[in-house]
Amino acid sequence: MLAAERKMRIVEFVRQHRSASVGTLAKEFGVHEATIRRDLAEVEQEGLLKRTHGGVIVEQLTHHEPSFNERSGIQLDQKERIGQKAASLVEDGDHIILDSGTTTLHIARNLVHRSNITVITNDMNVAAELRDAPGVKVMVTGGELYPSSFMLNGMFTDYVLRSVHVSKAFIATTAIHPKYGLTLPEAQLVVAKQGMIAAAQEVIVVADETKIGKISLYNVAPNSSIHTLITGNEVADYDIKQFQDAGIQILTV
């Protein structure tokens, strides 16, 4: 069997079974495990499958984002750790953007006792969290309110984001992939996210382990636009290395 045909059949086998170990594939196709590993490296580069420790799985696509209430309790401990670490990167005097999201809300909760900070946000929950923080100036972008997520989005949001410059932008996402970068399941959210990235000297993505290695429909930004990714220490070393190889600084907590 030619290598190209074997790789095609490997993809078909894994899609049928959802996952497979290197040993299983080697036995199935009658080749050495080293050969299977080379094949898997190539099919992963083509975006067809995702390697794991000792095997491979079907690349996972994210088709939608649940509501705020659904998301708020998921990976809560990770989000708290990520929020604390992200807030530690904010220096007095910084102007920052806090994207809308359940993880960025935890960043806000760790900034309430800081001083001389300006926060620009498109999230009503983030703004409310910081409303009594005496040392934090809060600027809300305006825009159409999305009741399920408390996010502001649309023409007014995009206009404000094009009009500001900040030292750091903390970006939330439903999917970040070592090859495809930031992606989103909803087209109408892309422009605001791109505006935040363009406005910042430093782009910091905050994402728990459920977002790592995922792909969604619409491209937001390549990995070359991202300086730092903060995630949980539950993420596999293999996944971490892929992002490091893409030029991103990784902070695990």
Q: What is the largest CA-CA distance in the chain?
A: 70
pLDDT of residue 193: 98
SS (H, E, C) 90-102: CCCCCEEEECCCH
* For residues 209-232, average pLDDT: 94
Q: Is 70 exceeded by the pLDDT of residue 192?
A: yes
For the stretch 33-60, pLDDT in tens is: 999 988 888 887 766 677 777 777 666 5
Name the band, by pLDDT with cuts 50, 70 and 90, for residue 142.
very high
Q: Which residue shows structure tokens 């996944």?
A: 239
For the stretch 55-89, pLDDT in tens is: 776 665 555 565 555 555 567 899 999 999 999 99
pLDDT of residue 155: 96
Joined together, the tokens standing for residue 143 give 């825009």
Whole-model pTM over 0.85: no
Residue 177: C-alpha distances to residues 99, 139, 149, 220 (Å):
19, 31, 23, 11
With beta carbons less than 8 A apart as the criterion, state whether 90 and 172 touch: no
